[in-house]
């Protein structure tokens, strides 16, 4: 409990919130944008409220998402039509992972629940709370607890296949961590490092630091990798909480580059640029190949941005007032702004086909199509 409370205070301070009753920084006033591209909101749906760090899974032409009450749905990305619906039977603590056949969520009661086309297939009680969305791949379900212990389960019957426990850090971050697949390797964020794991055995293949944390106490040295991460060819790029943004060469299992920047949200990127923002929502973009700073922008400071999507030469982010910002990946200049409702957007935008999907705190799900 002491650890959790300490980390909540640290996260609040980094987010620019007052711990002693003062006023929080005011969001930057939006300047008029002369659209350089066209775009519109093409469909909207409504689900339940989202009160946790939701991840939306984009699989082929569908997206799979959940709400805090435990409802899990698949929607067709093109028009928002509902394909199936199911329930975890309890409130959720983490987002959804899906491979198109199976969908996995974790409840606040620490139950891992796996659905197939909306029908519950199995559930397992976990030993530790989970805030990171499960990863479903290769007929396996992978889970990362807040203790940063990774687990592998058989997606068909729920058999526990393995557990990977690395030497622990003094403090653990109560925030979604890094978990993704790269070729035949599971990549797991454990402390300030990424670990390449054999997904069949749970054995360690390689390990590389995103950051080298420094500080005079345990809170200052807290540097867990946070979601989302981004995979670009042989590189995995990620943020180390309050420390740095960096890329790992997953083929070699070594650090490619790391740049100091405080912040608590993950990154987006493509083969040209990695984009992230610090605790005040000051945006920065680095060259993917070597970490050279390309540009920075203070135009969206304190607007409680979502993690970015980088695609087709655009950086796409949501904010606290329901706006979706489309910036030029090469220089950070605004190219388009659309409003997807009035509630704060709470998920990193996801791309499915030619539709970008965002989810709001009030349960609004919106499909946007830039042209």
Task: Classify residue 294: in a domain, yes or no.
Answer: no
Question: Is 255 part of any domain?
Answer: no
Domain-located, residue 77: yes
Going by pLDDT thresholds of 50, 70 and 90, the confidence category of residue 22 is low
Q: Is residue 5 part of a domain?
A: no
pLDDT in tens, 87-144: 999 999 988 999 999 999 999 999 999 999 999 999 999 999 999 999 999 999 999 9
Provide the residue range defining the domain that includes 99: 56-165
- Is position 98 within any domain? yes
How do beta strands 323-328 and 364-370 pair?
unpaired
State how many domains the chain has: 1
- Residue 86: inside a domain: yes
Under the banding of pLDDT at 50, 70 and 90, the label for residue 214 is: confident
Domain of residue 146, CATH code? 2.40.128.630
| pLDDT above 50 for 4 | no
State residue 172's pLDDT score: 67
Is the residue at 67 inside a domain? yes
pLDDT of residue 103: 97
Inside any domain, residue 35:
no
pLDDT of residue 10: 44
């Amino acid at each position: 409990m002491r650890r959790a409370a300490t980390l909540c205070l640290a996260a609040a301070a980094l987010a620019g919130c007052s711990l002693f009753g003062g006023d929080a920084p005011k969001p930057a006033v939006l300047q008029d944008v002369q659209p350089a591209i066209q775009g519109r909101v093409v469909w909207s749906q409504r689900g339940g409220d989202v009160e946790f760090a939701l991840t939306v899974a984009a699989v082929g032409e569908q997206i799979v998402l959940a709400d805090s009450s435990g409802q899990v749905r698949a929607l067709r990305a093109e028009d928002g039509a509902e394909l199936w619906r199911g329930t975890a039977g309890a409130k959720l603590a983490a987002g959804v992972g899906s491979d198109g056949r199976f969908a996995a969520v974790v409840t606040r009661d620490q139950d891992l629940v796996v659905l197939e086309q909306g029908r519950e297939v199995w559930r397992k009680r976990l030993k530790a709370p989970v805030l990171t969305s499960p990863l479903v791949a290769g007929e396996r379900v992978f889970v990362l607890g807040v203790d940063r212990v990774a687990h592998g389960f058989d997606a068909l019957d729920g058999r526990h296949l393995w557990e990977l426990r690395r030497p622990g850090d003094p403090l653990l971050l109560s925030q979604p961590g890094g978990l993704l697949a790269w070729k035949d390797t599971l990549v797991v964020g454990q402390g300030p490092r990424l670990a390449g794991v054999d997904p069949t055995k749970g054995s360690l293949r390689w390990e590389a630091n995103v950051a080298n944390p420094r500080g005079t106490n345990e809170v200052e040295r807290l540097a867990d990798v946070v979601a989302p991460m981004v995979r670009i060819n042989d590189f995995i790029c990620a943020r180390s909480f309050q420390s740095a943004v960096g890329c790992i060469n997953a083929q070699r299992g070594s650090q490619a580059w790391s740049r100091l920047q405080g912040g608590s949200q993950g990154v987006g990127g493509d083969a040209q640029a990695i984009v992230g923002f610090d605790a005040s929502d000051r945006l920065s973009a680095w060259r993917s190949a070597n970490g050279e700073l390309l540009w920075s922008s203070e135009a969206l400071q304190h607007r409680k941005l979502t993690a970015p999507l980088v695609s087709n030469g655009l950086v796409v982010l949501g904010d606290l007032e329901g706006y979706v910002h489309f910036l030029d990946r090469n220089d950070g200049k605004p190219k388009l702004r659309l409003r997807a409702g009035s509630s704060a957007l709470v998920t990193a935008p996801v791309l499915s086909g030619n539709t970008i999907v965002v989810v709001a705190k009030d349960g609004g799900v919106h499909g946007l199509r830039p042209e």
